[in-house]
Structure 1
Amino acid sequence: MRTVSLRSGARVPALGLGTWGLGEDPGRRPADVRAVRSALDLGYRLIDTAEMYGEGGAEEVVGQALAEAIRTGVLAREDVFVVTKVYPHNASRRGTVEACERSLRRLGLDHVDLYLLHWPGQHPLAHTVAAMRELVGAGRVSHWGVSNFDVDDLRELEEVGGDGPACATNQVYFSMTERGPEFSLLPWLRDRRMPLMAYSPIDQGALAQDDAVAAVAERHGVSAAQVALAWVLSREGAFAIPKAAKEAHQRENLAAASLVLTEDDLADLDEAHPAPRRKQPLAML
């Protein structure tokens, strides 16, 4: 698995597992835990979650799966990079710290590797940044970053001292049909060596039914979903966290990380899904 570099220099896998939608139904908890455990068994070492997902339920699912995998020797804690996020309404100076402690309890961990502000909210960014730095200093968070921030939001973050190696990454909706970030956001991030973490890189599965993507997939003998994911991973400065609950899809996604698209492939995909020619509002799910 190739890796990408955060602004701090830390290396993380270019492909991880998203957990949005997990932990919402207590009756499905065992199946959700099995899904995350399956990914860990297959070799996924980047897991993304949030306190918003299932109102903490997804964090509990991830925590249980991690505990089982560590207990059975599948991996050690230091082998896996765990990401979670704070709700904007919790992101005051004190609220961020308290929310992080709740997430750590649900995850069963003494620290998270990356803690993100889920989207810009009502609390001053200066207060959230101060809390993030406090959590790093206390060893409860290794790196911090943001999610769903456009260029104007990131400029504001710089103004309150969130520049330099401190803000590790920006997680946004980015796929072949949601290419808005390519116009100004992705270049801005590249200039600052801040990678873009792409959520919903297969457009919630819709690209698996796309004719142009399917035509490229046929050339390579792979699935359309794999081509869609490989396209995102081919963008300089981007890595991805597709959700996949079924083992077969998890295997497909892992294989997509080594799929190399040709110039002809990329040209055909650009024709079907052209790059933006003007600034577009940042898409959010």
Structure 2
Amino acid sequence: MLKDLRSTTRLNNGVEMPWLGLGVFKVKEGEEVYSSVKHAIQYGYKSIDTAAVYGNEEGVGKAIRESGIPREQLFITTKVWNANQGYDSTLQAFEDSRKKLGLDYLDLYLIHWPVKEKYKETWKALEKLYKDGSVRAIGVSNFHIHHLQDLLADCEVVPAVNQVECHPQLTQKELQVFCQEQKIQMEAWSPLMQGNLDVPLLTELSQKYNKTAAQIVLRWDLQRGIVTIPKSITPHRIEENANVFDFELSTEDIERIDALNANHRYGPDPDNFNF
């Protein structure tokens, strides 16, 4: 039930993950990320998503510790970067991230991109971290169906999450169906199309529901069963992005937003990413 920021989806291993969280991609280390994360947590956010390559894990960790919210009430995600993939190097990368965050454990650890010839070895390291209890859930990011099929062929632990670029211009419906069949929770990064929200339909729906275009898109994510992690460093936007639990889009309007799909990416294609 989507009631508020405490609302969760149950992952395939039983762990509860918040439907909406704060992403901190391109948020500067230091005061910028610290104040953003601290404000979000104090406003009620339970989920924070960072990555080793973002270079801001220390600021995220400081904000978590100084938020006044018990650690067990928060859901913290980070990711292993491409240059660190491989079995031993992934284990070391995890430990480096954990220390920077200043946490005893992580809630979710993801493979950031499917690096050819390496992601299966990296996955074995994630399985070890999971079995050792260092992380409550493990998953992947930017995996196409064929990457998932390859991983599922001989993995011991099915990924709990696949975090991918997903927004009205890249609805990822086929991938979502596959993930649902495999009980993998899909999660959207860049849900707000990097601010490219000046779309006539979104403007129309914004007026109809008396919500911002961003709120319309985030609500569309949630009603499709997709976890979403909008990024913002502005306090009122952080609050605004969270106020999506007091209205519901009609089925017709969801379908109209779906129809905006153009298979357009603002980020790299995982099959052609220059690692």
Q: In the alignment, what sits opposite 1:66?
A: 64
1:232 positional shift? 1.4
Query: Residue 14 of structure 2 aligns to a residue in which SS?
Result: coil
CA deviation string 1:228-255 (max 9, x = no partner) = 111111113x110110111111111111
- How far apart, CA to CA, are the structure 2 residues paired with 1:138 and 1:192? 24
Could you tell me which of 150, 166, 171 is aligned with 2:163?
171
Partner Cα distance (1:176, 1:192) in 2: 23
Which residue number in structure 2 is paired with residue 8 of structure 1?
13
Equivalent pairs counted in the alignment come to 263
Q: Which residue of the partner structure matches residue 110 of structure 1?
A: 104
Q: Which structure has more helix as a fraction of its residues? A: 1
Task: Tell me which residue corresponds to 2:133.
Answer: 139
Question: Which residue does the alignment assign to 1:198?
Answer: 188
Which whole-Å CA distance do the structure 1 matches of 2:44 and 2:269 have between them? 30
Q: Aligned letter for 2:165?
A: Y
Could you tell me which runs of 5 or more consecutive residues in structure 1 were left unpaired when the two chains were aligned.
none
Residue 155 of structure 2: which of 150, 161, 177 is its match? 161
Structure 1 residue 275 displacement after superposition? 7.5
Q: What is the aligned partner in structure 2 of residue 252 from structure 1?
A: 240
Structure 2 SS opposite 1:115: strand
Identity within the alignment, %? 33
Report which stretch shifted further, 1-10 or 238-247. Answer: 1-10
CA distance in 2, matches of 1:44, 1:215: 28
Letter in 2 for 1:46: S
Deviation at 1:122, TM superposition (A): 3.9
Superposition deviation, residue 125 in structure 1: 3.4
Q: SS of the residue aligned with 2:160? A: strand
Which residue, out of 203, 211, 220, partners 2:209?
220
Question: Are the counterparts in 2 of residues 88 and 122 from structure 1 also a CA contact under 8 Å?
Answer: no
Given candidates 130, 144, 152, the residue that maps to 1:150 is: 144
Report how far residue 173 of structure 1 moved. Answer: 0.3
CA distance in 2, matches of 1:149, 1:282: 12
CA distance in 1, matches of 2:261, 2:92: 44
Runs of 5+ unmatched residues, structure 2: none
- The Cα of 1:270 is off from its aligned counterpart by 4.0
* Alignment-derived partner of residue 177 in structure 2: 187
Q: In 1, Cα distance between the equivalents of 2:102 and 2:47? A: 16
Aligned to 2:70: 76
- Tell me if structure 2 keeps the 8 A contact 1:7–1:193: yes
Distance 1:162 1:147, change over 3 A: farther
For residue 187 of structure 2, give the secondary structure of its aligned residue in structure 1: strand
Kindly provide the amino acid, as one letter, of the partner of residue 190 in structure 1: Q
SS at match of 2:193: coil
Q: In structure 1, what is the Cα distance between the partners aligned to 2:93 and 2:258?
A: 42
Shift of 1:133: 1.8
Contact kept in structure 1, 2:111 and 2:123, CA below 8 Å = no
TM-score, normalised relative to structure 2: 0.89
**RMSD after superposition:** 2.0
CA distance in 1, matches of 2:189, 2:126: 22
- Note the alpha carbon deviations across 1:180-205, whole angstroms, 9 max, x for none: x21x2111001112110100111111
Aligned to 2:231: 243
Contact 1:148 1:282 survives alignment (8 Å): no
Give the counterpart letter for 1:178 in structure 2: L
Alpha-carbon distance between aligned partners in 1 of 2:82 and 2:228, rounded to the nearest angstrom: 22
Alignment check: 8 A CA contact 2:218 2:244 kept? yes
Q: When the two structures are superposed, what TM-score results if normalisation uses the length of structure 1?
A: 0.86
Pair 1:17 & 2:19 matched: no
Among 86, 95, 98, the alignment partner of 1:101 is 95
